[in-house]
Structure 1
Amino acid sequence: MRNLFKFAFVLGTLLLSEEITSAQTPQNSVKVLAVHDGDSYKIQLIEPTWVRIMGIDCPEIISNHITENQPYGVAIGDSIRQILKGQNVDIQIYGKDQYGRTLAKITFQGQDLADYILSKGWGHYLSPSKFDNATRLKYRKSRDIAKKNHLGIWAGNATNPKTWRKTHWK
């Protein structure tokens, strides 16, 4: 019970913080309540919380800020939804992004979810400085193999989600 209180206190402090911190929380198991798109999920922490997975950027879907679905966005979101919704995942929280979403590394059934998504060709690789060199190398390798084999977004003319957001932002 004492450890649960300590975790709740640390997590609550982290979630209330406005700035991104380089310190991470211990890995903890949480339930996935909803999947918005390939890299954004609602999980149950102390209260339902939107989380942005670190290390990847997946195609966008229509939202409060995006006016049009990006190619592959709906299919990738649906695929991840089938895998994760209602399941427990392990997360390590790294802080918040510029939109207030919690940033986390997510593991599902022992597999690094960002690496899995990159290996399927479902997202673009980002290089988070908070990850060690081995993790960044693993992510690049998974992305490169998917790209070489024309998997997922690499089967066609993949537009980077960052570029898509610039031209389809409300």
Structure 2
Amino acid sequence: MSAALLIIDMQVGLFHGPEKPHDGERVLANIQHLINQAHQQHVPIYAVRHTGPAGSPIAAGSPFWQLLPELELDADTDHLFDKSRPNAFHGTDLAQQLEAAKIEDLYLVGMKTQFCIDATCRAAADLGFKPWLVADAHTCMDTPTLSAQAIIEHHNATLGGAFARRINSADVTF
């Protein structure tokens, strides 16, 4: 086993919050396809949720903090964990879990492109993993400066090559 799927911050409050993610339904469908494929091929899935401070909308245990039920993840077989920083490796045992499972290829999907996807993709490369950025399976929201589409395209171009290999969800074979 050398591949794993890493789902980042696909949480109720981020996905269904007041600001809608760019092309969210298509991105979610692509992630669901990858989850089904991973389950069928017995590829491990790691799903992380961002945990905000007590009293924040994504504080541990809050309804908005929960992973999307539409992902149909199984806590008995999938690896679910929490983080408090954009980099999913920071302050977690993700690297140790991946090393113990002999994972090399790490397929990254989820939210938000310019924060947690970017930070985790760069960190994975720095830690010696082989990150694959699934170009049509990550998203974010518009900002006052840039549209979400521009942010996604920029990160696909910037991360793809220097930090990760870029692939579309339909081409993933694990």
TM over 0.5: no
Larger-gyration structure (1/2): 1
TM-score by length of 1: 0.32
Greater strand content: 1
